[in-house]
Amino acid sequence: MSKFISLILFLAFAGCGLATASEARQPYSSAIQKAHAASSPLHVRKVINHAHTLLGIPYLWGGMSKEKGFDCSGMLVYLFKQEANIHLPRTTADMLKAKKLPVARHALKPGDAVFFRTQGSVRSNHVGLYIGDNRFIHAPRKGKTIRIDSLENAYWKKNYTTARRF
């Protein structure tokens, strides 16, 4: 009987360590992000998936193509037109003027446009695509490439202004 109990205890404790190292390191918020993605409309998932394929493409002021590059608003215009047939205004300023209600930061959903005031500007002059888990994809500035950044980064947190859902 004691061998049986020992075997049960051994199996119970051994089972506690069955998760792989990468699974153990995966943050809880990753599961939340997957749940948000699964509940997002199809066009939003397509926009976000396409945005990931643009990572590494150079910033180009006025750019709106994979071949030449993108500026921040050009990237969103391109993505929403290609994947959702939604025609966004061309500039960050005009996107903000669009008849869309602001989205509170705590209510952000994947696919929302997030706006920032950068380089000492008094108004919002930069936009990115919120992808969930406090992260966004954007074309930062000349000399940089499209990348993912965190809204929790001190710079972006300080310069965040608003969001819109298109």
* 3-class secondary-structure state, position 126: strand
| Catalytic positions, written as ranges | 72, 126, 138
- Count of beta carbons in the 10 Å neighbourhood of residue 155: 11
Residue written as token pair 């940089």: 144
For residue 84, which of 127, 49, 42 has the smallest C-alpha distance?
42
| Beta strands 64-65 and 135-138, pairing class | unpaired
Residue written as token pair 């108004």: 123
